[in-house]
Amino acid sequence: MKRLFLLSTFVCLSLSLLAQGPLERRVDFEVKNSSIADALEQLSELASVRIAFSSDIFPAEKRISFRMRDAMVKNVLSKILKNTGVQYRLVGRQIVLYFKPPPPKEYTISGYIRDAISGEKLIAANVYESQSRRGTSSNAYGFYSLTLQKGIRQIRFSYLGYQMQLEEININSDLKLNIDLKPAITLSEVVVTARPGGEEAATINTYDIVPERYETLPTLGGEVDVIRLAHLLPGVQTGADGVGGIHIRGGNADQNLVLLDGVPVYNPAHMAGIFSVFNSKAIRSARLTKGSFPARYGGRLSSVLDVRTKEGNKKSFRKEINLGLTSAKFTIEGPLKKDTSSIFLSARRSFLDFFVRPISERIKEDRGESGFSSYNFYDVNAKINFSAGDRNEFFASFYKGGDNFHNETRIDFQSPSGNFSFRQLDSQDLEWGNTVASLRWNHIFGNKLFSNASINYSRYQFESSDVFSYEDLLRLDSSSLREFNLGRFSSLIQDVSAKLDIEYVPSVKHYWRMGAELTRHYFRPGVAALNDNIALSFPDIAFIFSSLDSIDNPSIATLEAALYAEDEWQISDRLHANIGLRASMWQIGSRIYYNVRPRLAFSYDLKRDLRLKASYSSISQYLHLLTTTGIGLPNDLWVPSTERVAPQDSWQVVVGVDYRRKNDFDLSVEGYFKKLNNVIAYQEGSSISFINADNWENNVTTGQGWTYGMELFLDKSIGNTTGWLSYTLSWSLRQFNRVNLGETFPFRYDRRHNLKLVLIHKLGEKWELSGNWVYGTGLATTLPISEYQASIPDFPGRPELAVNFGDKNSFRLPNYHRLDVGANYSFGRNVQNHTLSFGFYNVYNRRNPLYYRLSRGTSNPVDPRGRQYIEVSLLPVTPYFSYSIEF
């Protein structure tokens, strides 16, 4: 009986042990100064499991001692095999040990990728090693860093418009390698690219805009414009002919962070958006990010347009002159000290005043008046850079641009009888513009750490002044009447900031970015000063203006600080992520706002040519732009978040898929949903001319927005015929407490459908033909429907004509469409290159309305004109021509 009990117990224990996996069995284990092989045999017996190994894989001299109680076999094994390089796996019910050699050592190559001709750094150039399938891209300053395994490696360096360069390198230590790429003889690359190679594989919807190619597209007035090209991308909306600025995925114009060499530009438009402030001859690269932008960008909810200017040719002096119908440009660049320092200078001035002035003089003459109107704009870009060894680069960049408008009307009247005469002067001046400056220092620590430190300045100012003077010179009662009205309106936003960005490549799977930014903002949201009915003579006008100058204009100062960190993480061969966090602080008076916002973006390569992607981003914005009309007038006011006006914020979700057919085309489809909170607008009926630093908060209303839609981008980038097709299906809604009686309404730039087609065809070496056609659902607008007399019994006040508009933006302008065509002819040798560009904007003369207005005719019931809607359109068919010479 006793034997039977023992046997049963043994069987049960054995079954119990067998029921567990061999690695999970528990043992009490102890070794003292044993060899590893002995320890393994001891463990095999104790756990009743076979352990297969060859004893020569262990160093014979190694001795171990330890004790473990009730420990799993796998834990004991790990302890025994620690620091031996030996690993185990379970094969059937047997544990097999094997030796895994350590991975080969890795070294980092790093350096700058440059243009071989000019020495300019190349941004987003690709670096790729095919054997390990590891790659990266140069950063915004042309720096790259790639970690590879020891051995002979073939590394490919490539960049749009440049000849690919293959370097075979025996990597056995960290290496500094600067690469000079030669420009390609023929250009057959993409105009824009939706996926920037190996870098930022998880960044969604980033478009690199390449200057060499957008210069081939049809232009307006011969003015090549980076923002006009952005209009042709999916998800980018604007008003008729560019008026109204850019609206990305249903966002407001103020929600776009427009950077010039990393410094914000607050009004990137000339002529209400018809032209941009970016002189194409000064631009080296531009990148538009409209999905979930990474944590290094902040302060705007909708998009980032990051424009980098040229540094200047470090090899030789080059000059370029461009003459178009609307402007002239002159550019000079060259080395201050060859290969070490360079200077770049480019200036542009418009010719519009030469057209506007004589036309306006003639119009005034026809009215019996004298005077004229004139308008012009200008831009100056300058940059100096200096290399101090391989590890330090210094830059100083400057931009100043502005618009000037003057109008004056004089009337000298004398009655036929001669007993009455008067003279009248009505004069207006408007000036507005941006000033941007930056001092920057790039430093490379070792091979993996890059830093960029900068001090920046940005200013946008709008000024208007008005003089009205009326004087009776002779009256029957011999007394005379004089009247003067003088007014001045100005607004200002000015930033002074310091910024530090660090990029670190800890391993091939990670790319870290981190940084800090501190900005002092100054606002002067608008000052109106006027002097009415002052009986002074004409020469005293200057005196009055000087006294208006001395008016103390109050300003608001705020402090903004931000810290960010992000990691581009290659989780596996197929899965990439960009994970970031941005913390920011805003202080105005005693009020401080804090925000910590995540940015998450993932991409998964389902196949080699098929990528799924998704992102979530949460963003806060402390600045607001108050606009009366939404068409981007220069007197729109930048105002800060305050105690009463909270910061804007948004969250956005994007999902999409990219398909790339090798050497043929890219297809990208994305869906998005974006929620906007705390956006502000003038409450209905606000009198903008009385808004200043003290009262603007009383004139705004807070609201929210919803935007969602789908975008498709089909891009053919290789061959003699290139181009793209973009389609956007979108909705954008707003709700403000004091607009549209608090009801939700369509945003002005809510276009349901938007289609853009771009084609470029190369004819031989000298000719390029191009065309683009755009189509979009008409913008939302508000029109009067009906009216009645509002005269309430027993109520104070005179009868008013009440106009019923229905709901806000309940009408649509006609669908917008336009075809532009152009051609470029290039000739000349290396010493002198000439380019002729010509074509037509709006070829078939489509009248795309800017707005409608209701003409009420006259009160005469037999007036044949009656009441009618008047359509005001902007640009009919417009030819362009420009010539440039580079020498």
Partner 1 sequence: MRTTRLTYRILAFFLCACLASQSCERVVDLGIEEEQSRLVVLCNFEPDSLFKLSVSRSRSALSGDPLEYIDNAAVGIYDGEQLLEELVLVEDPLLGRNIYTTQQLRPKEGQNYTVQVKALGLTDVSATDVVPAAVPVTSFEIIGNPVPRPITPDQQTFQVTFRMRVSFRDVPGERNFYHLNFFYKDIDFTIDGEDTLRQETGLVIPLILDNTPNSLPYLSHFSKGILVDDERSDGQLMTFEFEGVTRPVGVDEIFDFLFVELRSGSEAYYNYHSSLTLQSQNTDTVFSEPIILFNNISEGYGIFAGYNTAIDSVKSFD
Considering only residues 350 through 369, tell me which ones interact with partner 1, judged by CB under 8 A: 352, 355-356, 359-360, 363
Asked if 851 touches partner 1 (CB under 8 A), the answer is yes
- Which one-letter amino acid corresponds to residue 271? M
| Residues of this chain, 433-492, that bind partner 1 according to CB under 8 A | 464, 466, 485, 487, 489
Q: Which residues pair with 332 in a beta bridge?
A: 319, 345
Asked if 383 touches partner 1 (CB under 8 A), the answer is no
We find the least distance from the C-beta atom of residue 175 to partner 1, in angstroms, to be 57
Among 430, 562, 588, 639, binds partner 1 (CB under 8 A): 430
Among 554, 719, 866, 879, binds partner 1 (CB under 8 A): 866
Structure tokens at 798: 């005179």
Angle at CA of residue 538, ends 537 and 539, nearest 5°? 100
Report the distance separating Cα 452 and Cα 262, nearest Å. 11
The torsion defined by the Cα of 846, 849, 850 and 855, in degrees rounded to 10, comes to 140
Q: Where are the alpha helices (H) located in 31-145, listed in sequence order?
A: 36-47, 73-80
Asked if 424 touches partner 1 (CB under 8 A), the answer is no
In the bound state with partner 1, the residue whose beta carbon lies nearer, of 363 and 474, is 363
| Residues of this chain, 401-420, that bind partner 1 according to CB under 8 A | 405, 407
Report the distance separating Cα 619 and Cα 652, nearest Å. 9
Is residue 209 classed exposed, middle or buried when 0-12, 13-18 and 19+ CB atoms within 10 A define those classes? buried
Instruction: Name the residue among 684, 687, 867, 850 with its Cα closest to residue 787.
Output: 867
What string marks each residue from 243 to 272 as x (binds partner 1 by CB under 8 A) or -? ----------------------------xx
Instruction: Name the residue among 714, 720, 823 with its Cα closest to residue 770.
Output: 823
What string marks each residue from 714 to 753 as x (binds partner 1 by CB under 8 A) or -? -------------------------xxx------------
| Contact range with partner 1 by CB under 8 A, out of 20-28, 542-550, 588-596, 846-854 | 846-854
Asked if 854 touches partner 1 (CB under 8 A), the answer is yes
In the bound state with partner 1, the residue whose beta carbon lies nearer, of 363 and 557, is 363
Q: Which residues pair with 210 in a beta bridge?
A: none
Q: Cα dist. 601→505, 580, 779 in Å? A: 19, 9, 32
Asked if 864 touches partner 1 (CB under 8 A), the answer is no
In this structure, the number of other CB atoms found within 10 A of the CB of residue 873 comes to 16
Helix (H, G, I), strand (E, B) or coil at 100: coil
| Residues of this chain, 28-67, that bind partner 1 according to CB under 8 A | none
Asked if 875 touches partner 1 (CB under 8 A), the answer is yes
Asked if 535 touches partner 1 (CB under 8 A), the answer is no
In the bound state with partner 1, the residue whose beta carbon lies nearer, of 77 and 356, is 356
Asked if 625 touches partner 1 (CB under 8 A), the answer is no
| Residues of this chain, 807-836, that bind partner 1 according to CB under 8 A | 807-808, 811
We find the least distance from the C-beta atom of residue 323 to partner 1, in angstroms, to be 19
Report the distance separating Cα 659 and Cα 662, nearest Å. 10
Helix (H, G, I), strand (E, B) or coil at 4: helix
What string marks each residue from 693 to 712 as x (binds partner 1 by CB under 8 A) or -? --x--xx-------------
Structure tokens at 775: 């189509």
Question: In which element (H, E) is residue 17 found?
Answer: helix 2-19
Q: Which residues pair with 650 in a beta bridge?
A: 619, 676
Asked if 787 touches partner 1 (CB under 8 A), the answer is yes
| Contact range with partner 1 by CB under 8 A, out of 5-13, 112-120, 583-591, 850-858 | 850-858
What string marks each residue from 131 to 170 as x (binds partner 1 by CB under 8 A) or -? ----------------------------------------
- Which one-letter amino acid corresponds to residue 361? E
Q: Where are the alpha helices (H) located in 320-439, listed in sequence order?
A: 352-366
In the bound state with partner 1, the residue whose beta carbon lies nearer, of 389 and 793, is 793
Asked if 639 touches partner 1 (CB under 8 A), the answer is no
- Give me the count of residues in the chain: 887
| Contact range with partner 1 by CB under 8 A, out of 104-112, 571-579, 589-597, 792-800 | 792-800
| Contact range with partner 1 by CB under 8 A, out of 56-64, 84-92, 117-125, 777-785 | 777-785
**Contact, 714 vs 759, CB < 8 A?**
no
The torsion defined by the Cα of 285, 291, 296 and 297, in degrees rounded to 10, comes to 80
| Contact range with partner 1 by CB under 8 A, out of 21-29, 707-715, 786-794, 815-823 | 786-794
Report the distance separating Cα 378 and Cα 39, nearest Å. 84
Asked if 232 touches partner 1 (CB under 8 A), the answer is no
Q: End-to-end distance of the chain based on CA atoms, in angstroms?
A: 111
In the bound state with partner 1, the residue whose beta carbon lies nearer, of 165 and 628, is 628
Among 66, 805, 825, 883, binds partner 1 (CB under 8 A): 805
Asked if 530 touches partner 1 (CB under 8 A), the answer is yes
